[in-house]
Structure 1
Amino acid sequence: MRHLSTYFAVVALAPAALEAQGSADLVLTNGTIYTVDNARPHASALAVRGGRVLFVGSDAEARVLAGPSTLVIDLHGATVVPGIVDAHAHLLSLGNMLQRVNVAGSTSYAEVIDRVKAWAKNVRPGAWIQGRGWDQNLWPTREFPTHEELSRAFPDNPVVLTRIDGHALLANAKAMELAHVTAATVDPSGGRIVRLASGAPSGVFVDNANGLIDRAIPAATRADTRRAILAAIAEANRLGLTGIHDAGEDAETIGIFEELAKAGNYNLRNYVMLSDPGEPGSAASLGNPYIQHGPQSALYDGHLWIRAIKLYADGALGSRGAALLAPYSDEPSNSGLLLSRPEHIEAWAETALRSGFQVNVHAIGDRGNRIVLDAFDSALKKVPKADHRFRIEHAQILSPEDIPRFARLGVIPSMQATHQTSDMRWAETRVGPQRIRGAYAWRSLLNTGVVIPNGTDFPVEEVNPLLTFHAAVTRQDPSNLPAGGWYPEQKMTREEALQSMTIWPAYAGFQESVLGSLTPGKYADFVILDRDIMHVPDTEILGTRVISTWIGGKRVYGAK
């Protein structure tokens, strides 16, 4: 499954033959172009017509294709790469975060509260205050907060602050009061209410327990949701993204995506995963219009794909909800949480094999990953299918014996390089020196022959794909630490890192015939950078600036 850069390449016609068919809409010359196509990996010029790549080659050949109305851009040596795709992201969550309190990077609980106070100066009493981004692992104590300080600061406003990973939240007393959560409230299946010594809720809710608070929060209006989506798309374009794999959205949100795409206001290619629709054949799944319609590809000139289902096996490592085969090294009474029954995952895998959907399951802990691999294995024995491209999202902590199973079963590990650089400060404390050897194990997986589509899980990590590229090739944080990289034997090469952000996500989304490389006939999605990220020193990668972002030959970000 590994070498995927030349599949479905369209044989390029000679420039003279192309000229006879009409001039190009756009010609780029004098650049350093990385095509991610083994048939012609490097070029200096690119021509586009009708939103598709027309020609890749030399400046002289490309200039033949320029007519009176062609936009010709001299790149002056700038670098061009195929459109960058984030293979695991949360678009609406990013948009919401951009319009709510952002407490990411706070180095203490006090700083979190100060940021909320600054943001909420003009909020009326009684109004809900929502935010995201706290991470107790960045604080001196590294312990979960309790609600008292937040409740004292906001006695009259319900406040809900989601943890950076989205797998836990902190609610103040007013929010818990409105949600009718008390000491008598029982932990839901797959969730945990963190409690004080008295048994009263501490204010922290983990995984499925989040719903106890979420149900009390007033629903966003469609106008609010549209604003959030457009804000997120603009941010993605600014940072060089032309596409994402959206890791779980409900039918209402996808409907708004469609409205925006129909109106031509959706400057992103989105491979959307449907949030867990409930049991196959249940009223919930039967009532989901996208499940009933069946898989849909390349809608609205390739701006929407709706052909995957997103499930959850377990929680997250940072909030100790990832399901482990043995207890947490730093909390021996806890082995994590299972958010879905194994039978539920297997049932959807079997249903999807019959209906043509892809199944993508969040699994972080070694137990969570094994459960998903077992479920896929069982379903494939019942409904054999060679090209299912089932995925495990994150595949973060793996037992050594499970690493070869991905290739054997044809399962794609969809991973996030910056999770490693964010988690490396405390991950070994969580799982110990033995299990950490199977954590963020990119090279071990690549050596078995799989591909690894790379993402950020934004807004869990920063959107910037250059952070992903840097982390993948260095296993260092943005300060270039630790020296030599963290478990450096697991690094990707630069070629692999670029593939993991272009052609490998395309393959993971059944899009490799139209996306992922600058090949004639494919969509003309590309990014122009001011540095050659394939050759600059490691320490200069993050100094790279996005000059412009293009989707279908249309500039969606950058100077005119």
Structure 2
Amino acid sequence: MSVADLILMADRIHTMSDGPAPTAIAVAGGVITATGDRADARGWRGRGTEVVDLGAATITPGLVDGHFHPVTGVGLTRGVDLSSVRTAEGLKSALRDADVAPGAWLEGWGLDPNVFEGAPVTHAPLVEAVGPDVPVFLLLFDGHAALVSPRALEMAGIDGPRAFVSGAGVVCDADRRPTGHLLELEALDLVRALLPGDAPADRRARLTDLLRRMAAAGLTAANAMDFEADSAALFRSLEEDGELPVRWRFAPFVMPGAGRDGLDAVIAQQRLAGRRWRVQGAKFMIDGTIDGGTAWLDEPDTHGESTACLWPDPSAYTDAAGVLAGHGIPIVTHAIGDAGIRYVLDTYARLPRTSVPHRIEHLETMPTELIERFASRDVTASMQPTHCTAYTRADHSDNWSSRLGKRRADRAFRARDLRDRGARLVLGSDWPIAPFDPRAILAAARLRRPAGRPDVEPVLPGQALTARMALEGYTTEAAAAAGLSGESGRLVPGHRADLTVFGLDPLSADPDEFAESPVPMTVVGGRVAHRG
């Protein structure tokens, strides 16, 4: 065995593999070279070996976030953070308190539609807070809708309904006047195109800070569900200064109307890579969101909405996915409603298999007959536990549940059913739609309520994951979903030296307490990416 570059020792090391539990692990050249007990570590040392005894801490394989928007998120999280606003009065107060120069845009993000308590989402609170002449752009929490002021509508030339290539829309009242509520990306972009751009240096600085905070929370890798125009330039620039603290796999977006030129561009992008990032996959959306009425359901929601595919001709999605899969590109599809999930599963059944399994993101409401098909067709299920615990309520009084009605809300976020039926299940955050801290997400997956809130009734507690299942969703399942089971996801010799260290044991600690666990160290490729 070669001399170790790094030796870590801890009372608990969860290798996520069969065999005795070690208390020491050796790393050299970016891979794990040995595991054993503390006494064994003496034989691994050399003159330059760094040895760290972490005492009562717990070491796990490095955590991988299944669904993230790093570069897009840097642009979306501008202005006032509205994620903690819970009432219309709170929204108005937050806007009045915003520090905005005269004539400048007032921007905000993270707005929960439950603020409107079932009433229509309109720009009335914006006008009450800052008047009709201030241009305001507020991104709703799901990233698929926005609320804009009368002045913003005027500047964008929006004075009535619009037709779009996708299932986007400008919400209007009975007199066909825009309410300020915009649905899906094409509609949002009418106003977003007018917003001031970020300086490249600012975007780079914010991305650097994001990656640092991710490593400090225990993340060693993430799946990026887009590839912005400047993504390659940003990550190349960061790698010029040193190693990234987080590994990345990117799946560029394919939107309705992309055409053959758009598909060829995605095929060409698959060649792009750096030392710790690469493009591998293509991201589609078959529908929008339940909160916005743009999901694709078998039956209309209680507002008579969510009845259509985001692609006006669903077969165009199937054709585009077929072209890319034919080039060996794994397909990733956002599918939230039961009709959308069914259509994607039917499409995947006709696609060629790729070295990395095709996957479906979100999976918010679906009948059992769809769950049965994930394992049999080797489709990865990717879910975000805090989408359930942060934005829905056990009594179904939230906007999401009331739109679905009890029957469909009762078959929601079925993480445990997927695992029990043999599906590969990866977990993640969908940042910036929800916070990325994996400690809170692991806790929410087990509790079915927000971590640290024992007063909140769990949402469908029968869908809770075990502690082991939750950790697998960030480790072994994540590795399998990326086609990397033979080189990551477990702490065994020959695998990547990506490790996360927790002050508490994720398999035995109380979930609420674990959500506050210290992260003494994160290691990526055998190098310390974070030291607490």
Q: TM-score, normalised by structure 1?
A: 0.87
**Structure 1 stretch displaced more, 549-558 or 271-280:** 271-280
Say whether 1:353 aligns with 2:325.
yes
Which amino acid letter does the alignment assign opposite residue 458 of structure 1? W
Structure 1 distance, partners of 2:477, 2:295, is 26
Q: Report the AA paired with residue 371 of structure 2.
A: I
Distance of 2:172 and 2:402 partners within structure 1: 23
Tell me the residue number matched to 2:310.
Answer: 339
Counterpart mapping for 1:293-308 below 5 A? 294=270, 299-301=273-275, 303-308=276-281
2:17 to 34, 37, 54: 37
| Contact 1:388/1:410 (8 A) holds in 2 | no
Alignment CA distance shift 1:482-1:415 (3 Å): farther
- Counterpart of 1:46? 25
Cα distance in 1, alignment partners of residues 306 and 78 from structure 2? 35
Q: Given residue 96 of structure 1, which amino acid in structure 2 is its aligned partner?
A: G
Structure 1 runs of 4+ aligned residues shifted over 6 Å read none
| Alpha-carbon distance between aligned partners in 2 of 1:285 and 1:414, rounded to the nearest angstrom | 24
Judged with a 3 Å threshold, the aligned counterparts in structure 2 of structure 1 residues 92 and 118 are, in CA distance, closer, same or farther, namely farther
Query: Structure 1 residue 515: deviation in Å?
Result: 2.1
Give the alignment of 1:148-187 within 5 angstroms.
148-151=124-127, 153=130, 155-183=132-160, 185-186=162-163
Give the Cα–Cα distance (whole angstroms) in 2 for the partners of residues 68 and 181 of structure 1.
69
* Counterpart mapping for 1:272-291 below 5 A: 272-276=250-254, 282-286=260-264, 288=265, 291=267
Q: Between 217-226 and 339-348, report the one with greater CA deviation.
A: 217-226
Aligned equivalents of 1:182 and 1:279: distance in 2? 25
Single out whichever of 518-527 and 189-198 deviates more from structure 2: 189-198
Shift of 1:444: 1.7
Structure 2 match to 1:141: 117
What is the identity, as a one-letter code, of the residue corresponding to 2:517?
T
- After superposition, the Cα gap between the structure-2 partners of 1:399 and 1:387, relative to the gap in structure 1 and judged at 3 Å, is farther
Cα distance in 2 between the residues matched to 1:540 and 1:118: 34
Q: Secondary structure at the match of 1:528?
A: strand
User: How many angstroms apart in 1 are the aligned matches of 2:204 and 2:456?
Assistant: 44
- Does residue 445 of the first structure (1) align with residue 418 of the second (2)? yes
Q: Give the length in aligned residue pairs.
A: 524
User: Does 1:414 pair with 2:382?
Assistant: yes
Alpha-carbon contact 2:295-2:307 (below 8 Å) kept: yes
Moved more, 451-460 or 340-349: 340-349
Q: Displacement, 1:362?
A: 0.2
Alignment of 1:464-483 (within 5 A): 464-481=437-454
Q: 1:526 to 1:269 in 2, by over 3 A?
A: same
Contact 2:451 2:511 in 1 (8 A): no
Once the two structures are superposed, residues 419-478 of structure 1 have per-residue CA deviations (whole angstroms, 9 ceiling, x without a partner) of: 121233134423223223432112221222111010111111111101111111222222
One of 192, 198, 212 as aligned partner of 2:175: 198
Moved more, 51-60 or 477-486: 477-486
Partner of 2:434: 461
Amino acid at match of 2:382: S
How far did residue 529 of structure 1 move?
1.1
Distance in 1, Cα, partners of 2:438 & 2:279? 23
Which residue of structure 2 aligns with residue 12 of structure 1?
Answer: none
Distance 1:99 1:547, change over 3 A: farther
Task: Name the amino acid aligned to 1:107.
Answer: R
Does residue 195 of structure 2 align to residue 227 of structure 1? no
1:130 to 2:130 alignment: no
Mark the CA change 1:547 to 1:514 in structure 2 (over 3 Å): closer, same or farther: same
Quote the Cα distance in structure 1 between the aligned partners of 2:462 and 2:365.
16
Cα distance between partner residues in 1 of 2:416 and 2:151? 48
Shift of 1:262: 4.0
Q: Is the 1:190–1:209 Cα contact (8 Å) retained in structure 2?
A: no
Q: Shift of the alpha carbon at 1:480?
A: 4.5
Partner of 1:64: 43
Cα shift at 1:548:
2.2
Structure 2 vs 1, CA of residues 337 and 546 (structure 1 numbering), >3 Å: closer, same or farther?
farther
Aligned match of 1:90: 69
Name the CA distance, whole Å, in 1 between partners of 2:78 and 2:306: 35
Q: Report the CA distance between 1:254 and its aligned residue.
A: 3.1
Code of the residue aligned with 1:176 in structure 2: it is: L
Amino acid aligned to 1:147: H
Relative to structure 1, the CA distance from residue 387 to residue 51 in structure 2 (aligned partners, 3 Å threshold; closer, same or farther) is closer
SS at match of 1:300: coil
Q: Deviations over 1:153-197 (max 9, x none)?
A: 055542211001101001112211221111264566401222234
Query: Residue 392 of structure 1 aligns to which amino acid in structure 2?
Result: I
Give 1:116's aligned amino acid.
L
Compute the displacement of 1:483 (Å).
Answer: 7.6
CA contact under 8 A between 2:263 and 2:320: conserved in structure 1?
A: no
Structure 1: which amino acid aligns with 2:318? E
Secondary structure at 2:469 match in 1:
helix
Structure 2 vs 1, CA of residues 226 and 483 (structure 1 numbering), >3 Å: closer, same or farther?
closer
Alignment of 1:68-79 (within 5 A): 68-79=47-58
SS in 1 for 2:495: coil
Instruction: Give the structure 2 partner of residue 6 of structure 1.
Output: none
Q: Cα offset for 1:151? A: 3.6
Match of 1:4 in 2: none
The one-letter code sitting in structure 1 at the alignment partner of 2:346 is D
Q: Please give the secondary structure, in 1, of the residue aligned with 2:170.
A: strand
In 1, Cα distance between equivalents of 2:181 and 2:346? 32
Which of 369, 372, 392 is the matching residue for 1:401? 369
- Decide whether aligned partners of structure 1 residues 132 and 257 sit closer, same or farther in structure 2, where only a CA change above 3 A counts: same
1:320 to partner: Cα distance: 2.5
Letter in 2 for 1:300: G
Name the aligned partner's letter for residue 231 of structure 1: D
Distance 2:82 2:358 in 1: 34
d(CA) in 2 for partners of 1:250 and 1:390? 22
Structure 2: segments with no counterpart, 5+ residues: none
C-alpha separation between the residues in 2 aligned to 1:263 and 1:232?
16
Equivalent position of 1:327 in the other structure: 300
Would you say the 8 A contact 1:87–1:454 is kept in 2? yes
Q: CA deviation at 1:295?
A: 5.2
Superposed displacement of residue 48, structure 1 = 1.3
How high is the TM-score relative to the length of structure 2?
A: 0.92
SS at match of 1:249: coil
Work out whether residues 52 and 553 of structure 1, in 8 Å CA contact, stay in contact via their aligned partners in 2.
yes
